[in-house]
Amino acid sequence: MKHARNPAADMTIWAAAIAVLGFLLLPLVIVLLYAFDASSVQVWPIRALSLRWFAATWADEEVRSALLVSLEVAGLATLLATVLGTLAALGMNGLSTRSMQAGSFLLTLPIALPGVLTGIAMNSFFSLLDIPFNFITLVIAHTTFCMVIIFNNVMARLRRLPPSLREAAQDMGATPWHGFITITLPLLAGSVMSGMLLAFALSFDEVIVSTFTAGSETTLPLWIFGAIRLGQHMPEVNVVVFAVIAITILPIIAGQKLAASASREH
């Protein structure tokens, strides 16, 4: 369908679109550019470009250990969340609509509530049980919201799977378990994978919940936060932000590609 074109209206819409995109993306671009600034104090315009801060950051023990912690937490939380979230979706899919809505609501709360609330709740819960804050509490806390991502992804796919596929498998002699392994699970694989990538990205740059549950552990976002507050290591912060963007944006793009191809399959 083609509408009659009004050049003035077209121009206005384009201008507005560019303004919004600029508002969203310009700060990111500036931080990315600062990462290549040779100077140790940020002044605009950048006078000389260099990769010296990349080398310096990579050599920084604190940054390296924070990066390692972040990768480990994100990896473990994603794995745990994948098992739990997929099982939750499979279990809830068989329930009545009303119980399913109630269950989804409760399960989705950790992501719907402000992070501060989830963080405080986790903090007092672990304190109450006398569990010391360490790497494990951090992984548990991250698993709660990672699980929601997986659950939502798998649930959406399950709802679009016609029940006749399961019936057809049984019709041809497969037990329910065999049918699940050969039909349902392969059809869910794409949405599980895309959920895993998104969950990993979410965990990798999480700050708020981590603040309340990390104890003495330092993740990369926590290191950035600390560095900015103290006003130190600013050139290194820019490099680290550059790295975080690179590490999180790739899984997000891959995840969306996967989700799109999974939905095309049926």
Sites of contact with other proteins (CB under 8 A): 162, 164-165, 167-175, 178, 182-183, 186-187, 264-266
Record the tokens describing residue 188, joined without a space.
């869910």
* CA 257 – CA 249 distance, rounded (Å): 12
Which C-beta is closer to other proteins: that of 96 or that of 216?
96
Which C-beta is closer to other proteins: that of 1 or that of 172?
172
Is residue 134 within 8 A of residue 217, CB to CB? The reply is yes
Shortest Cβ distance from residue 23 to other proteins (Å)?
40
Shortest Cβ distance from residue 81 to other proteins (Å)?
24
* CA 193 – CA 153 distance, rounded (Å): 9
Is residue 16 within 8 A of residue 199, CB to CB? The reply is no
Q: Is 92 helix (H, G, I), strand (E, B) or coil?
A: helix
Element (H, E) at 245: helix 234-264
* CA 227 – CA 237 distance, rounded (Å): 7
Shortest Cβ distance from residue 161 to other proteins (Å)?
9
Which C-beta is closer to other proteins: that of 22 or that of 176?
176
Which C-beta is closer to other proteins: that of 40 or that of 175?
175
Shortest Cβ distance from residue 176 to other proteins (Å)?
8
